[in-house]
Structure 1
């Protein structure tokens, strides 16, 4: 069962979430909260798997509340908001998804399916990690040389993100952020360490703070500064510093137009 906590200062909004959740047979609502302060207590007391969290609440809003929660203990978060402008900020704090008010049934079901799959992966990861801890240590074989997945810890649980799903990676202090489609995942580590663990035939360091999956690259624009810009399949543009230009595969250079794009 998925343990759900609903956090919203509006009674009608909480009721709307409850009604949507009734369609799911694998969900139990363990509690509700009408303020950020009450929500912090409920998170500790109830330890939900999934939280539906309103962005705008009097006193302490949803973002402020999350800053007071230990990152490792965060459950999965689906934001509720009446303003689309909060979407990017929601993903910036590692929200699983966000739903616009009034809630659309189809979007709600989609978000719940995403949560269900993520929890399944996380629980499977916990079981695998437990089994692996019982195995004797062994030397890495050649096929183990390149990392195939990253361990991600969130909400007190562990799951894995395959390197095949990663579009690009950026540095963030003592962590790196894995960009995988619409999802982002934070992993402890340095760019140098991550780079050494990735297969160079599939990933390239293009900046001191950026690594890209070469399979996601669709275009290369050369700049007059001798830097370059990579365009990915989803439209994301990433700067390539001159220091790292040589890391790109030769066929990447052929994507560049004959005219230099002015910076």
Structure 2
């Protein structure tokens, strides 16, 4: 096959038994498999590999009998070539194999990319694959889903979506999640950079709230506004942050 510079021959077999042994060893992308062979015929080679739970490479059957063609495709052969082999027909088969390998590689790349984006954004992997296939843009969320809170030698992973509000206590931040309150040594400004501004908003200089846990916003006779959370917690809204809070809760 010197004229096919995109093909490297990694092995040859004299019969079907040798093929069953060699194919799992060298794991070729493509096998040209004669249907009529001593020991095991081409179809039996495929069946034996399946019984052994071995990956099946792309198969191009070679046969002297056109009647085998239909059966060849029953075992998922990519193509078949009749003997004596016509060079043009062989080239067509090789081109088909090349196209299939390129598609498999692209599908593999898409799968890896989809898993990477899904891990990074929390989006659904199948939805990302659909977007890749249709050419839709994939947007990524630069904000983490997990907040790592260090306490001595321990690190607690807190889901950002479970954080209800955060307030300052001296040099520490009190992170109030649905299950418990966690203490961490960071500034409000640092935390604000790590949290999605579409979900979290400053209520005043020393407190930030997750909008999804806000039940309502109420005004007092004094003119002050307060946020009431689902768990009954009441947070004061400072004048400088009032407009932004109203915008976030769609008032």
Q: TM-score, normalised by structure 1?
A: 0.45
| Larger of the two Rg values belongs to structure | 2
Larger RCO, structure (CA 8 Å, separation 6 or more): 1
